[in-house]
């Protein structure tokens, strides 16, 4: 598949050919081919031709009928668009999960390596009690595993309802009707569930990126990106560019999912007048931004630089304040105050190994 590039969204090429115009056209032709029972060639479709009918299927069918007059009989435009979107989403989610697995493997190694690496915990930006970097990584890893589980539960149903969901034309034509295929013309849970699961991925990635941005500040210096980006005016700077770009995605994807829910709430009659149409580009942007974010996070985790000496120094510099809670609990404090942090790390690591193999 060819890749796109977008100067407005640096890194967009990481999403490769997912949800491009070419992929959408190909997926719609595949839907028509399967319904017809023979393979159709993908024609060249001028995107401007989609405006007249409000969707690209009408112009596409006109071209496909030059190959076979029986094409599209019994279907409606929404059957083709929805099924094509689900087909594309299924392939995109598979690639998202590959990158999540890479992130998960990387975090598992970090959690094991730094299970007992001491550092100071921070709550509401302030020093709290002692913790370990392995504990922090285990929190990252938990979010990634949760996001992957949500993706694994997704379904990508076909849409075969005909003009108003009744399949009247299919019955009239004597077509053998598929069983177990929902007619969800105005019930948009298949779309909103995909959107919600993708946002869960960018949430999990931002959880990591937020900490890297904070902990890589020079005055903290506990983490650093493996190859930080440069500055156009200060060549000595090594900006946490991947983390910044991941945060950018997480700041925008929830609004895209909200648009999908708004479109679902605006469904009316037996096909919505605008709510359905609002989904296509919204889902495209959400899918591509998620693909980019998980790919960037995989690179971020793979090359992350950890500074245990700075973690220990910052913990020591925090002084007695980090042991205030411990002293309020006992007159005979233990040498360390880490609770069952190590056990939590072990539990999350075991979950990751079971899930990721």
Is the pLDDT at 2 greater than 80? The verdict is no
Residue 39 lies in a domain: no
d(CA 17, CA 31): 18
**CATH code assigned at 108:** 1.20.200.10
Number of domains, the chain: 1
Least confident of 28-32, 161-165, 181-185: 181-185
Residue 198 lies in a domain: yes
Residue 165 lies in a domain: no
The pair of three-digit structure tokens given for residue 312, joined into one six-digit string: 């220990």
Is the pLDDT at 190 greater than 80? The verdict is yes
Question: What are the percentages of helix, strand and coil residues in the chain, rounded to 5?
Answer: 60, 5, 35
d(CA 184, CA 177): 16
pLDDT digits (tens, 9 = 90+) for 27-80: 999 999 999 999 999 999 999 999 999 999 999 999 999 999 999 999 999 999
Confirm if 241 and 228 have CB atoms less than 8 A apart. Answer: yes
% of the chain surpassing 70 pLDDT: 95
pLDDT of residue 333: 65
- Phi, psi at residue 270, to the nearest 5°? -115, 5
Residue 166 lies in a domain: no
pLDDT digits (tens, 9 = 90+) for 248-297: 999 999 999 999 999 999 999 999 999 999 999 999 999 999 999 999 99
Query: Which of the residues are catalytic?
Result: 231, 271
Confirm if 102 and 295 have CB atoms less than 8 A apart. Answer: no
**What average pLDDT does the segment 218-235 reach?**
79
Confirm if 96 and 291 have CB atoms less than 8 A apart. Answer: yes
Residue 58 lies in a domain: no
Read off the pTM. 0.94
> Residue 227: pLDDT band by 50, 70, 90 thresholds?
confident
Residue 47 lies in a domain: no
- Phi, psi at residue 93, to the nearest 5°? -65, -35
Tell me, rounded to whole angstroms, the distance of Cα 194 from its chain centroid: 9
Confirm if 225 and 212 have CB atoms less than 8 A apart. Answer: yes
| Cα R_g (the chain), whole angstroms | 25
Q: Domain residues for 294?
A: 89-157+185-356
Specify the 3-state DSSP secondary structure of 132.
strand
Tell me, rounded to whole angstroms, the distance of Cα 177 from its chain centroid: 34
The pair of three-digit structure tokens given for residue 243, joined into one six-digit string: 């983390």
Residue 3 lies in a domain: no
Best CA proximity match to 197, nearest among 275, 283, 107: 283
> Residue 178: pLDDT band by 50, 70, 90 thresholds?
confident
Residue 215 lies in a domain: yes
3-class SS string, 105-160? HHHHHHHHHCCCCEEEEEECCEEEEEEEHHHHHHHHHHHHHHHHHHHHCCCCCCCC
d(CA 146, CA 140): 10
> Residue 195: pLDDT band by 50, 70, 90 thresholds?
very high
> Residue 228: pLDDT band by 50, 70, 90 thresholds?
low
d(CA 226, CA 305): 6
pLDDT of residue 94: 98
Other CB atoms within 10 Å distance of the CB of residue 355? 15
The pair of three-digit structure tokens given for residue 353, joined into one six-digit string: 């190994």
Is the pLDDT at 317 greater than 90? The verdict is yes
The angle formed by the CA atoms of residues 43, 281 and 186, to the nearest 5 degrees, is 95
């Amino acid at each position: 598949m060819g890749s796109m590039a977008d100067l407005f969204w640096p890194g967009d090429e990481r999403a490769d050919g997912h949800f491009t115009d070419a992929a959408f056209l190909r997926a719609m032709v595949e839907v028509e081919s399967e319904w017809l029972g023979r393979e159709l060639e993908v024609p060249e479709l001028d995107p401007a031709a989609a405006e007249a009918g409000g969707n690209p299927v009408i112009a596409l069918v006109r071209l496909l009928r030059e190959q076979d007059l029986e094409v599209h009989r019994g279907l409606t435009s929404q059957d083709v668009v929805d099924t094509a979107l689900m087909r594309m989403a299924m392939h995109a989610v598979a690639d998202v999960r590959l990158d999540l697995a890479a992130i998960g493997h990387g975090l598992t190694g970090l959690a094991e390596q730094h299970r007992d690496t001491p550092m100071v915990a921070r709550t509401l930006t302030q020093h709290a009690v002692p913790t370990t970097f392995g504990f922090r990584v285990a929190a990252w890893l938990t979010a990634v595993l949760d996001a992957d589980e949500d993706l694994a539960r997704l379904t990508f149903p076909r849409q075969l309802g005909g003009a108003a969901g009744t399949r009247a034309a299919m019955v009239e034509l004597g077509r053998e009707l598929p069983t177990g295929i929902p007619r969800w013309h105005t019930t948009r849970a298949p779309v909103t569930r995909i959107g919600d699961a993708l946002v869960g991925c960018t949430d999990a990635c931002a959880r990591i990126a937020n900490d890297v941005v904070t902990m890589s500040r020079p005055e903290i210096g506990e983490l650093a990106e493996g190859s930080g980006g440069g500055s156009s005016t200060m060549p000595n700077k090594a900006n946490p560019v991947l983390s910044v770009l991941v945060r950018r995605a997480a700041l925008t994807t929830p609004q895209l999912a909200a648009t999908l829910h708004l479109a679902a709430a605006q469904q009316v009659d037996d096909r919505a007048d605008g709510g359905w149409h609002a989904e296509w580009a919204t889902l495209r942007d959400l899918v591509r931004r998620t693909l980019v974010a998980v790919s960037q996070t995989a690179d971020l985790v793979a090359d992350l630089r950890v500074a245990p000496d700075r973690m220990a120094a910052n913990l020591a510099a925090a002084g007695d304040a980090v042991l205030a809670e411990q002293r309020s609990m006992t007159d005979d404090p233990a040498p360390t105050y880490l609770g069952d942090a190590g056990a939590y790390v072990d539990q999350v690591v075991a979950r990751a190994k079971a899930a990721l193999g």
